[in-house]
Each structure stands twice: as structure tokens, then as C-alpha cells.
């Protein structure tokens, strides 16, 4: 399983840990007069009115990669039933349950077998959280039942239970989905064109792996709470014995960056450009209002629908705002300096990325910082370097870019204000 590390007061790393999920009440889609007047859902196949949000819950007892000796040092004083879970050092991919009994620490191997976890090959569990709950209720062959967990200090981890998606109404029966051709590759596996009850949908297919499953379901869990006409809408998930499919609305015109590059100046009009800017900003304004940070906003992660509207996609790194991430695998040219240096992500770091995305729109999909080697981008940016306006870019749009690229996050504008400026500009764009 992979890891989502989180700090209690602040931020989430790029390892994706196990995740446990809690359904919330049916009225999770609240209405804020500001943002919600625009929050119309585009027609999508079979999206029930009342689906519940699927949330993550913590695994404070999971200590990740620590050795047998470190576990024994941490478990002090050795009260019967005091326990923690760590990654197995001898069997990568498995776990070890460490529990105190009669002044010693017993180490039980937790095997990953046929997509499930087991200690004794008799009781099987979907994730670590279920396994811990079982042995808290009954020793069931262990030296003692689990009585008290030893919480990990600092970053804590999470776990997901697929049954919660079932309970919250997000599961699509396999018989309702027909898979067609591959339309792309994603982080987790192929993205296929599908037909859901006769309507076109996009299907992200998960390669079989416990770690990837947790990361995949983390993205899905966040998407259960988000509905806006400028966000790609989750329609549901399919679970079978071998695969998990994440089903979203189908965006027939592909990614914004490919759309801009393939059509170029001849076919992409000023009106198209300002529409893409307004649409993306509206989706981001909604995320800002929901206190969700995207973390990977770029023209490659904005998709274009058949009608030409733009929608923000790819919530693989998105999190509620009090999470943080390792800067290891971040797209340097799109990521704000404080996020790269200090892993400080916020709606203001998303605004920096939005400035880069505006530059992409008005340069017809060029790669940002075209004449600077990747290794030198950060030092130039930290000295205050800002890209020049793309040829033909309206001065009002370039001014938004410059404000978005302020080195001080608090000085950057918010998405609500930027959207109103862009909407005004749209009204005068021919």
C-alpha cells in the first residue's frame, strides 16, 4: 500500500498511505451565493442527486519504514497490548504488527496476498485499519488483543475502504460499462473510452497494485466531494476482482495544451483564449472556496469538452488545504517557489500555477521559460525573474500573470477577484 503522509497542523507527502473512508451526510454540497450561482452541473450520464462524500481517516499507529529495533525502542514502557504497525523490512510490500506482551515485543508479519492482508491465512482484511480494528476486539490467536496504539509523531497516515464507496452510492456495476479504445495513458494505467448506459465516458484503469490502489482511491475520495461545471465530474467507480476503474465524464477535445498546440494561432481565437481562462479560473475559484488545493494546475491538466468549455482535471495531488507534499516530483516550471522550497502549498501557490497556465494559453501551448534550462529556472524565479508577455497577449491578462507571480504568496490575488477581472475582459473581447 502506499502512503499519504500528513502533518496534523500542516501538510501531506507524496507517498500515499492506506486510507479509511467515512461517508458524510447527503447535504455535503452546500451553497455559497458567490460561487454557487455559477455552479451548474453539466449534463453527465447517470449522476444521482444524492451521493455522499467519501472521506479519509487517520491511521495514527502506522509508523512506516522503521526497523525492528526502532519499533522496540519506541514501544516503551512495554505495557501489554501497546502496539504499532510498520513496513516489513524483510518482506517489502508486507507489514509488521508489533505488540507488547509480558515485557517483550512480538512482531507479526502481515502478508499481502490476493489483494488482501492476513496474519494467519485465516482472517483476511482489505486494509490495515480493518485488521487493527479486528485485533482490538479480539486477540484471535495473537499473544494479546491490541489495547493501546502508539501514535506516530508528526506526519500521520491514512487508509481507504472500498466498501465506503459502495455505501455512499458511487459504485457502478461492471455490466453497465462497456470499454472501447485507449485514449491515453495516466499515472496509474491506461485511460479508456467507455460507454456508460450508452453515453461516452472516460475510464481510468488501475494497474493491479496495493500501493497504487490507495493513491487512486485517494483521488477518487476527494472527487466525491466536488461538483462544479468547470471541474471534470466523477461519475463513479467499478470494482471487480482484478481491477478498479475510475469513471469520469468524457472530454472529447482532449487536454488544453494539446488543443492549443494542434490548432495554433490560425484556429484558436482571442474569444477562445479568454473563455478558457475564465472557465479554468471559475473551477479554481470553486476549489478555493472549498479550501481544496490542486497542486498540479497546468494546461495539460485542463480538459476541453465537445462544446468547447474547459474543465480542471487530474486531482491526483489535490488535497484539503491543511495537507502538504514532498517537492520531489513536482513540475518545477508550474510550481510556486515556496511550494518547491518549503512544501508550502495553498490556494496562493495554485494562483502562481494559474499565472503559468495563462501564459500557456496566450503562447498557444509553448513550454514555459523557453530559453532557461530547467535546472536554472528556480534560481532565476527566486531572484524575481518573470516571463515576458506572449505575443498578442492583452495587457490586462499579462498584469494578472505578473500579480500571480509575486514571490510573496500573500500578495497574490485570489481566484474570485481574478475571475471577475477576466469576466470583464471577456465581455469586451471580440
pLDDT the model gives residue 208: 55
DSSP type of residue 197:
T
Q: Does the N-terminal peptide bond of residue 77 adopt cis geometry, omega within 30 degrees of 0?
A: yes
Q: Whole-model pTM?
A: 0.73
347-393 residue pLDDT tens: 999 999 999 999 999 999 999 999 999 999 999 999 999 999 999 99
On whether the CB atoms of residues 62 and 128 are closer than 8 A, the answer is: yes
Pairing of strands 148-149, 82-87: parallel
pLDDT the model gives residue 57: 66
- Whether residue 268 is predicted with pLDDT greater than 60 in this model: the reply is yes
CA dist., res. 302 & res. 311, Å (int) = 5
pLDDT the model gives residue 17: 31
pLDDT the model gives residue 30: 30
Q: How far is CA 350 from the centre of its chain?
A: 14
Residue 62 pLDDT grade (very low, low, confident, very high; cuts 50, 70, 90): very high
Residue 162 pLDDT grade (very low, low, confident, very high; cuts 50, 70, 90): confident
385's CB contacts (< 8 A; 6+ apart) are none
CA dist., res. 213 & res. 216, Å (int) = 5
More confident call, 163 vs 27: 163
- Whether residue 276 is predicted with pLDDT greater than 70 in this model: the reply is yes
CA dist., res. 122 & res. 107, Å (int) = 18
More confident call, 318 vs 12: 318
Residue 211 pLDDT grade (very low, low, confident, very high; cuts 50, 70, 90): low
Of all residues in the chain, what percent carry a pLDDT higher than 70?
A: 82
Average pLDDT, the chain: 84
- Alpha helices (runs of H) in 319-388, residue ranges in sequence order: 337-342, 347-362, 374-382
CA dist., res. 326 & res. 113, Å (int) = 30
pLDDT the model gives residue 320: 56
pLDDT the model gives residue 74: 97
Question: Cα dihedral sign for 354, 360, 365, 366?
Answer: negative
Lowest pLDDT segment from 72-76, 224-228, 321-325, 326-330: 321-325
C-alpha cell at 213: 490502489
- Whether residue 155 is predicted with pLDDT greater than 70 in this model: the reply is no
- Whether residue 325 is predicted with pLDDT greater than 60 in this model: the reply is no
pLDDT the model gives residue 205: 85
pLDDT the model gives residue 184: 84
Question: What is the rounded average pLDDT of the residues 79-107?
Answer: 95
On whether the CB atoms of residues 326 and 368 are closer than 8 A, the answer is: no
As annotated, the binding site includes 204
Domains, the chain? 58-147 (3.30.505.10), 163-249 (3.30.200.20), 254-320+329-428 (1.10.510.10)
Highest mean pLDDT, choosing among 13-17, 22-26, 183-187, 414-418: 414-418
Please, what's the b/e burial string for 91-106 (b: 16 or more CB within 10 A of its CB; e: otherwise)?
eeebbbbbbbbeeebe
**Could you say which of 157, 161, 272, 296 is catalytic?**
296
On whether the CB atoms of residues 172 and 239 are closer than 8 A, the answer is: no
4-60 residue pLDDT tens: 333 332 222 222 233 333 332 222 223 333 433 433 333 444 444 568 888 776 789
Angle between helices 347-362 and 415-428 (to 10 degrees): 20
pLDDT the model gives residue 255: 95
Q: What's the first-to-final CA gap in the chain, in angstroms? A: 52
Q: How far is CA 212 from the centre of its chain?
A: 13
Q: Is 296 a catalytic residue?
A: yes
CA dist., res. 120 & res. 63, Å (int) = 22
Question: What is the rounded average pLDDT of the residues 216-222?
Answer: 80
CA dist., res. 52 & res. 43, Å (int) = 19
Lowest pLDDT segment from 131-135, 195-199, 214-218, 327-331: 327-331
DSSP type of residue 175:
G
Question: What is the rounded average pLDDT of the residues 304-309?
Answer: 97
235-255 residue pLDDT tens: 999 987 777 899 999 999 999
DSSP letters along 213-226, please? HHHHHHHHHHHTT-
**How many residues appear in the chain?**
430
> In a 3-state reduction of DSSP, which class is residue 399?
helix
As annotated, the binding site for ATP includes 204
More confident call, 36 vs 411: 411
Highest mean pLDDT, choosing among 53-62, 157-166, 406-415: 406-415
C-alpha cell at 63: 509508523
300's CB contacts (< 8 A; 6+ apart) are 255, 256, 257
CB atoms within 10 A of CB 319: 21
75-91 residue pLDDT tens: 999 999 999 999 999 99
DSSP type of residue 255:
B
> In the beta sheet, which residues pair with residue 104?
101
CA dist., res. 306 & res. 204, Å (int) = 19
CA dist., res. 115 & res. 337, Å (int) = 40
Amino acid at each position: 500500500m502506499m502512503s499519504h503522509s500528513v502533518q496534523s497542523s500542516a501538510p501531506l507527502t507524496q507517498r500515499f498511505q492506506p486510507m479509511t473512508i467515512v461517508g458524510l451526510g447527503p447535504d455535503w454540497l452546500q451553497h455559497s451565493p458567490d460561487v454557487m450561482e455559477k455552479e451548474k452541473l453539466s449534463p453527465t450520464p447517470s449522476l444521482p442527486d444524492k451521493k455522499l462524500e467519501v472521506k479519509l481517516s487517520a491511521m495514527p499507529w502506522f509508523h512506516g519504514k522503521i526497523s525492528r529495533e526502532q519499533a522496540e525502542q519506541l514501544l516503551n514502557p512495554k505495557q501489554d497490548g501497546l502496539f504499532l504497525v510498520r513496513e516489513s523490512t524483510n518482506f517489502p510490500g508486507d507489514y509488521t504488527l508489533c505488540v507488547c506482551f509480558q515485557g517483550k515485543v512480538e512482531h507479526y508479519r502481515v502478508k499481502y496476498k490476493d489483494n488482501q492482508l492476513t496474519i494467519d491465512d485465516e482472517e483476511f482484511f482489505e486494509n490495515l485499519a480493518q485488521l487493527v480494528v479486528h485485533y482490538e476486539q479480539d486477540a484471535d490467536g495473537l499473544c494479546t488483543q491490541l489495547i493501546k496504539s502508539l501514535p506516530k509523531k508528526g506526519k500521520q497516515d491514512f487508509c481507504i475502504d472500498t466498501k465506503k464507496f459502495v455505501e455512499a452510492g458511487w459504485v457502478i456495476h461492471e455490466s453497465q460499462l462497456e470499454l472501447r479504445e485507449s485514449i491515453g495513458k495516466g499515472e496509474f494505467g491506461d485511460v479508456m473510452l467507455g460507454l456508460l448506459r450508452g453515453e461516452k465516458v472516460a475510464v481510468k484503469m488501475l494497474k493491479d497494485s496495493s500501493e497504487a490502489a490507495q493513491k487512486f482511491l485517494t483521488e477518487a475520495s476527494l472527487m466525491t466531494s466536488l461538483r462544479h461545471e468547470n471541474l471534470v465530474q466523477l461519475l463513479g467507480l467499478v470494482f471487480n476482482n482484478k481491477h478498479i476503474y475510475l469513471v469520469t465524464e468524457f472530454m472529447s477535445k482532449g487536454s488544453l495544451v494539446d488543443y492549443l498546440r494542434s490548432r495554433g494561432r490560425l484556429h484558436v481565437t482571442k474569444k477562445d483564449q479568454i473563455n478558457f481562462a475564465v472557465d479554468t479560473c471559475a473551477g479554481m475559484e470553486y476549489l478555493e472556496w472549498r479550501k481544496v488545493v490542486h497542486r498540479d494546475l497546468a494546461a495539460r491538466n485542463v480538459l476541453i469538452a465537445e462544446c468547447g468549455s474547459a474543465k480542471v482535471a487530474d486531482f491526483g495531488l489535490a488535497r484539503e488545504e491543511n495537507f502538504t507534499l514532498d517537492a520531489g516530483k513536482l513540475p518545477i516550471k508550474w510550481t510556486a517557489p515556496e511550494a518547491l522550497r518549503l512544501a508550502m502549498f495553498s490556494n496562493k501557490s495554485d494562483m502562481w500555477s494559474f499565472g503559468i497556465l495563462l501564459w500557456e494559453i496566450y503562447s498557444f501551448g509553448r513550454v514555459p521559460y523557453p530559453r532557461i534550462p530547467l535546472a536554472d529556472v528556480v534560481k532565476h524565479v527566486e531572484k524575481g525573474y518573470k516571463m515576458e508577455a506572449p505575443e498578442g497577449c492583452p495587457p490586462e491578462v499579462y498584469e494578472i500573470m505578473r500579480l500571480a507571480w509575486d514571490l510573496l504568496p500573500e500578495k497574490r490575488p485570489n481566484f474570485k477577484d481574478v475571475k471577475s477581472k477576466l469576466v470583464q475582459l471577456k465581455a469586451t473581447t471580440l
